[in-house]
Structure 1
Amino acid sequence: MPSTLTTTRGSVTVAGATRTFTSVGTTAPGDAKPLILVFHGSGQTGDKHRAFTGGVFDALAARGALVAYLDGYRGNWNDARRESHFPARKADIDDVGFVRAVITTLAADRRIDPGRVYAVGYSNGGQMVFRLAHEAPDLLAGATVIAATMPAPENFLAHQEPRAPLPVLLVHGTKDPIVSYQGGTMNWALRTVFKAGGLTWSATRTARYFAERNGITTEPTTIRLPKQRTADRTEVERTTYEANGVPSVVLYTIHGGGHTVPGPSSSAPMVVGRTSHQLDTADLITQFFDL
């Protein structure tokens, strides 16, 4: 009999505050599952991000993982960017503590394997994943960042734990109107709307940075992937950094793609750019992390 997906609301207490999340998983019995932590973008909640992406990450739950859509504080994450001025940063919300508490709670009843926790972040949520990779690498078995690039060192306040090699998957559109593929700083209007700013690196420099953190010094290989849907005006290029004995770093460049999450469907408005249907982000995550 096929397993069905169940959706459950959960909460944890961190620094005296109640923090919430939505978990999605199957009813199938078995060993402890890998955990996928999903971090939404600015102004969203976990549930809103789930709708915004067309539920693309639910496919990971259907394949046997537990997917947890976490809720930021008043729509944002304390992402450690110096030039972030939204409430989560101004109030110095303990989002790293929130992540630890969620993992501990879900591991307590053996629903998940704490050694197989993967963070997936979009936009401001991607910045939060960057923070986790530096401040709490012990929590993660891998990281996926979509539509976000590394802050320049002078714009990044996260303290850094000793480097731990980490497989990193990056996805970014060349026509992203909010977070430029080329890096740099947001214009005045975007800084005002999102209450964030400061210098960020390009997507390619971000990929090289994480490769070097893993000890990869060789040049990457880049290939243009065949189009899966001819009517889709985006095209995809994959750049892979790899070396023997260390985790890989892969950057998927979505030529013509916007500030969106690639997948079979999406509710993203056109104002944030084109959503690529050439890729399914859930498939990328499944293959890259061997879930």
Structure 2
Amino acid sequence: MRTTLSVAGRTRSFTVIGEADGPEERALVLVFHGSKQDGEAHRRFTGRALDQLATNGRAVIVYLDGYRGNWNDARAESSFPARNEQVDDVAFARAVIVSVSGTHRFDSNAVVGVGYSNGGQMVFRLVHEAPELLAGAVVIAATMPDRAGFLAGFSETPKRPLPIVLVAGTADRIVPFEGGRMAWWARAMFKVGGVTLSAPATATYFARRNGINSAPVVSLLPERQDGRHGTRMEEIAYRETGRASVTLYSVLGGGHTVPGVVPAPAMLGRTGADRSIDEIVDDMIVALKQSA
């Protein structure tokens, strides 16, 4: 069901997947697409993997549409229209939650933000600027900007610690796993700039924000036995009792892709298969319910 609403004088749109009268203990999953996409394009891009969580009553899935293909994330050197025109995407996310709460039953304490690429950067903004909107976050193919390039309050002390899951390809040609600046062609194509942390440094940053000082536990995920062959994935888990967890899934040799059944176009690189995006998000939902 595609819905429109007015936010800060602009007409915005989103699509809701899930029965209106489903279980009230369902999570609400807000999905933020990548650059040059919209919600429906991202839904196709991922093979509608997250829709399964709506089908089995685990969550209401909402695909939000960015402004002219982008989100006004908090990167200081971005120059696409959403950034140049200072589109209020935090207000949009807030309005979507309110709107869906009036049409669908879900657990207001189990709202999860899921973002890919530019959408992942938007989730980083929400985590820092409006953490009260979320109970957890899953970010794919995006790493934190450095302090100078982040406008939403780079901080070691969060208003509200949240569990965070990161997914990053070690061979991502668009968002370097090792951090630094994007390649010149990627900066020109996507109209972004600035310096980012590496994927491991991003995980460490969020672990410290959540008060975790222990060293992470590193393990290779079990290889799938269901015929889904693809790039292997490594889990780097930051855990401490009483602290919101942080997990980094490194897709070994993986590209700028979302892990799952449907491989991304070859130009984006290899796709992880040991744990798909719907399983990652469902794991987050289970953890939220257990900690409630």
TM-score using structure 2 length: 0.92
Taking the aligned partners of 2:228 and 2:10, their CA distance within structure 1 comes to: 48
Rate the CA distance shift 1:54–1:178 in 2: closer, same or farther, 3 A.
same
Taking the aligned partners of 2:258 and 2:161, their CA distance within structure 1 comes to: 25
Listed one character per residue, the Cα deviations across residues 104-162 of structure 1 (whole Å, up to 9, x for unaligned) are 11113452332211000000000000000000000000000000000001000114795
More strand by share: 1
Of 264, 278, 282 in structure 2, the residue corresponding to residue 282 of structure 1 is 278
Structure 1 residue 213: deviation in Å?
0.7
Of 75, 93, 96 in structure 1, the residue corresponding to residue 87 of structure 2 is 93
Does structure 1 retain, via aligned residues, the 8 Å contact 2:228–2:261? no
Give, as a single letter, the amino acid of the residue that structure 1 aligns with 2:117.
S
Runs of 4+ residues deviating >3 angstroms: 26-30, 159-162, 229-233
Q: How does 1:205-224 map to 2 (within 5 A)?
A: 205-224=201-220
Rate the CA distance shift 1:154–1:12 in 2: closer, same or farther, 3 A.
same
Does structure 2 retain, via aligned residues, the 8 Å contact 1:233–1:256? no
Give, as a single letter, the amino acid of the residue that structure 1 aligns with 2:80.
F
- The yes-or-no answer on 1:262 pairing with 2:256 is no
Of 241, 246, 250 in structure 1, the residue corresponding to residue 247 of structure 2 is 250
SS in 2 for 1:84: coil
Give, as a single letter, the amino acid of the residue that structure 2 aligns with 1:171.
V
Listed one character per residue, the Cα deviations across residues 70-128 of structure 1 (whole Å, up to 9, x for unaligned) are 00000000001011000000000000000000001111345233221100000000000
Structure 1 residue 28: deviation in Å?
5.6
Q: Identify unmatched segments of 5+ residues in structure 1.
A: 1-7
Give, as a single letter, the amino acid of the residue that structure 2 aligns with 1:39.
F
Rate the CA distance shift 1:212–1:9 in 2: closer, same or farther, 3 A.
same
Aligned to 1:43: 36
Rate the CA distance shift 1:18–1:231 in 2: closer, same or farther, 3 A.
closer
Taking the aligned partners of 1:54 and 1:109, their CA distance within structure 2 comes to: 26
Q: Identify unmatched segments of 5+ residues in structure 2.
A: none
Superposed CA RMSD in Å reads 1.7
Taking the aligned partners of 2:87 and 2:3, their CA distance within structure 1 comes to: 19
Aligned to 1:31: 24
Structure 1 residue 16: deviation in Å?
1.2
Does structure 2 retain, via aligned residues, the 8 Å contact 1:265–1:277? no
Aligned to 1:3: none
The count of corresponding residues between Structure 1 and Structure 2 is 283
Structure 1 residue 205: deviation in Å?
0.5
Does structure 1 retain, via aligned residues, the 8 Å contact 2:230–2:274? no
TM-score using structure 1 length: 0.93
Does structure 2 retain, via aligned residues, the 8 Å contact 1:13–1:19? yes
Does structure 2 retain, via aligned residues, the 8 Å contact 1:32–1:110? no
